Chain A
Amino acid sequence: MSETISIINPKLEIARSPHVHSKWSTKQAMWLVIIALIPTIISSLLFFGISQFSIIATSVCFAMLTEAIIKNVRKQPISIDDGSVIITGILLALILPPNFSLVSTAIGAVVAVGIGKEVFGGLGFNIFNPALVGRAFLQAAFPVSITTWTEPSFTDAVSSATPLSLMKFDNKFESINNLLVGNVGGSLGETSAIAILIGAIFLLATGVINYRVPLAMILSAVIFGGIFWLIDPLHFPNPLFHLLAGGFLLGAIFMATDWVTSPLYSKGMWIYGIAISILVILIRLFGGLPEGVMYSILLLNGFVPLINKYTKPQIFGEGK
């Protein structure tokens, strides 16, 4: 028999059950999202030049700085290492046009974190997706430069149009192959469907995001976009175009699935995803703007509390 164990052992903790915890932590999930963004970051550098890294770096640095300053002023612990502010910075950069002004990028990052997140109380309390708030601010503040697109190339920047503006203003449809690979005009991270899908598979496999919102968005876009296409295939693009063009996939995988700003319940997730896609298609086909993913997600973010209220599941055993 071993030496006697002391009966009252001060090293033993007293704690409430459960006494085990899954591998999940906020920090870990956030870093998984960052990993999932790597293919998209690479695609943006590949198509628009290594110099675009300065936009991403600026955005991330100013996002982190803003959070650190605000946390410091509010005398709260600095939580940069939880990774969420890094995601905001990366996502904001990925939805900006190539060669966007670094000063404007910095302003966008400050607004995204300051107004999009910290005024609500920080991580977990914001209503709107912070990166999209930053982007919406930039869209209002710098409407010209934010819609100046550069053709993907390794050499000089050549002005070009995005597949969506080609569709809208010139009634021309970009080839699906180009859209898949990402060899088209557009925001830094939205052009390569393949890069985004690699990240999507990773996030779904690790369980960070739920399949419901992306699936609802995709199905809804295919059905709703498909209806218009069937009505007039010459005037309206086919559903696959809707999925691959613009920021649809980036939004469906990385923005609409944001834990904080998306619905809590599975039924709500379906409603949210379907509604976003309907809005996207309406804006794209009939609105004044060529692209509508940002506004659609932001608008639906605002409806999330209402969606949650009306989609609460029945408690177990309360009638069938």
Chain B
Amino acid sequence: MPKIFNNLLSFKGGVHPKEYKYLTSSLPFERIPTPSKIILPLSQNIGAPSTPIVNKKDEVFAGQLIATQNGPISAPIYSPVSGNVLSIGIEDTVSSFAKESITIKSNENSEMELFPKLDLINISDKEICKRVQMAGIVGLGGAAFPTYFKLTPPKDKIIDYVILNGCECEPYLTRDYRLMIERPKDLIAGLKLIMKALNLEKGAIGIEDNKQDAIDILQNLVKDDNSIKIFSLKTKYPQGAEKMLIKAILNREVPPGKLPFDVGVAIQNIGTAIAIYEAVYLGMPLISASLTVSGLGIKTPKNLIVPIGTPLIDILEYCGGIKEDAKRVVVGGPMMGITQHNLNAPIMKATSGILVLTEKEINQFDETNCLRCGKCIEVCPVNLTPTKLARFSQLGRISEAEENGILNCMECGTCAYVCPANIPLVQWIAFGKKKLSLAKKAV
């Protein structure tokens, strides 16, 4: 459609995959019973893995620090349950890599240690950052970047806007939506803390217009507050990608290879804002994850609050188990999530969803030659030519791939989603990016 017909805030390109949000959108969060075993990978965030400070057989209690921050880009880890350390060793994780992990056998004790109370009225920006760092909070939108680091930007970056990402543009997922409608006050409080930590006057929440009730609730809550604005955005994947969100709300374009900081914006996820609220107001470390369990292949889809480190199998069984025709178990959304082969792998801090997909939803068919139909180009939100990039990667012509901007690809999957020839474009592009980075290292 030509631009003139489109007066909603949005970006160029994108797709409308079938949402399937109805499966879980009306279901309030449930807390699952404490699992008998918890596996905590030491690397749950971008950056360095945490350093364990407990030993095998040690007794731990819920909320106890068990691994400390290691270097500037890292985060501490707390035990979500009381119990005994069963082992410290390599375990499969949902990130498709096996990682060093602490396994804890839980007991019935449900006591929990909280952080000391803060003076919430006179709290300073430094205190907020300190508490966020202490609580081990990472970006819960999926990237898992340590949050305190994002709250203390380099001095030369001038930030004037913080945006909470309430798009939840991935199909199926309803975690952020449920948080917005179940805990809107906590969310606004979390946003205020972020604004205070960054010394900002202006905050915004961007929400796709398929979540109108969330928009209304939040709008109503901030109607007397000039510092926070709620933006209704066109429902389109990948509206929740940072660059697309900033473009839609502020009409600023983050240049290739740059971060939102570079255009004066800090972005935080809805879940992260809630975690910040819990850390500062309630003294809670980040020990549980809210997530959506959905897909046509799970018996009873649910929105759950789950201790971090709970194996997938416990969660799937709590949801009634997987159906006969289940084809893929995906952690994350269907557009960017990772398929799982070992259901003993634990969910991590930034896990936002577990999907069990059937043949019908996946809609696979045989790959054909590229027909140069240009659909991948039309939908690419960052204006790349995915078919060419994939071809260059395939042929090993890495320098040409780089010239054509392969490093700008965020692997959102939009191109592969529409490709009528069903070429695994994302896979080829990711392969090319990997090759390019290896080639650069070799130089």
Total interface residues in chain B, CB < 8 Å: 75
Is A26's CB within 8 Å of the partner chain B? yes
Main secondary structure of the interface of B (DSSP, over half): loop
Query: Is A264 in contact with B364, judged by CB distance below 8 angstroms?
Result: no
Query: Is A21 in contact with B417, judged by CB distance below 8 angstroms?
Result: yes
Give the residues in chain B near A14, CB-CB below 8 Å.
339, 341
Query: Is A260 in contact with B372, judged by CB distance below 8 angstroms?
Result: yes
Which residues of chain B have a CB within 8 Å of any CB of chain A? Answer: 15, 17-18, 171, 243, 247, 253-256, 258, 299, 313, 316-318, 320-322, 326-330, 332, 334-344, 355, 357, 361-365, 368-375, 377-378, 381-385, 387, 405, 408, 411, 413-414, 416-422, 424, 426-427, 430
Query: Is A316 in contact with B382, judged by CB distance below 8 angstroms?
Result: yes
A315 to chain B: closest residue by CB: B405
Contacts A124-B371, A259-B373 given; does A2 touch B420 at CB 8 Å: no
Per-residue B-contact encoding for A219-231, CB less than 8 Å = 1, 0 else: 0000000000000
Main secondary structure of the interface of A (DSSP, over half): loop
Is A18's CB within 8 Å of the partner chain B? yes
Is A159's CB within 8 Å of the partner chain B? no
Query: Is B426 in contact with A24, judged by CB distance below 8 angstroms?
Result: no
Per-residue B-contact encoding for A236-264, CB less than 8 Å = 1, 0 else: 00000000000000000000000110111
A121 to chain B: closest residue by CB: B369
Interface centre among B299, B328, B340, B344 (most CB of A within 10 A): B328
Counting residue pairs across A and B whose Cβ atoms lie within 8 Å, the total is 178
Listed from nearest, the 9 A-B pairs whose CB atoms lie closest are: A18-B413, A124-B369, A316-B382, A2-B321, A259-B373, A317-B253, A317-B255, A16-B427, A24-B420
Query: Is A125 in contact with B369, judged by CB distance below 8 angstroms?
Result: yes
Query: Is B255 in contact with A17, judged by CB distance below 8 angstroms?
Result: no
**Bound state CA distance, A26 and B375, in angstroms?**
12
**Bound state CA distance, A226 and B321, in angstroms?**
69
Give the residues in chain A near B377, CB-CB below 8 Å.
264-265, 313
**Bound state CA distance, A5 and B317, in angstroms?**
8
Query: Is A25 in contact with B422, judged by CB distance below 8 angstroms?
Result: yes
Query: Is A313 in contact with B335, judged by CB distance below 8 angstroms?
Result: no
Is A4's CB within 8 Å of the partner chain B? yes
Give the residues in chain B near A1, CB-CB below 8 Å.
317-318, 320-321
Query: Is B417 in contact with A22, judged by CB distance below 8 angstroms?
Result: yes
Give the residues in chain A near B329, CB-CB below 8 Å.
9, 12
Query: Is B337 in contact with A19, judged by CB distance below 8 angstroms?
Result: yes
Give the contacting residue for A18; candidates B327, B370, B417; CB below 8 A: B417
Is A145's CB within 8 Å of the partner chain B? no
Query: Is B421 in contact with A314, judged by CB distance below 8 angstroms?
Result: no
B367 to chain A: closest residue by CB: A26
**Bound state CA distance, A16 and B365, in angstroms?**
15
A125 to chain B: closest residue by CB: B369
Chain A to chain B contacts (Cβ below 8 Å), 28 pairs: A2-B321, A3-B321, A5-B316, A6-B343, A12-B326, A12-B339, A13-B327, A14-B341, A16-B424, A16-B426, A18-B413, A19-B361, A19-B362, A20-B171, A20-B334, A20-B361, A22-B15, A24-B375, A27-B368, A260-B372, A263-B374, A266-B378, A315-B408, A316-B253, A316-B408, A317-B256, A317-B258, A318-B255
**Bound state CA distance, A259 and B411, in angstroms?**
24
Per-residue B-contact encoding for A190-225, CB less than 8 Å = 1, 0 else: 000000000000000000001000000000000000
Give the residues in chain B near A140, CB-CB below 8 Å.
none
Interface centre among A16, A121, A314 (most CB of B within 10 A): A16
Is A11's CB within 8 Å of the partner chain B? yes
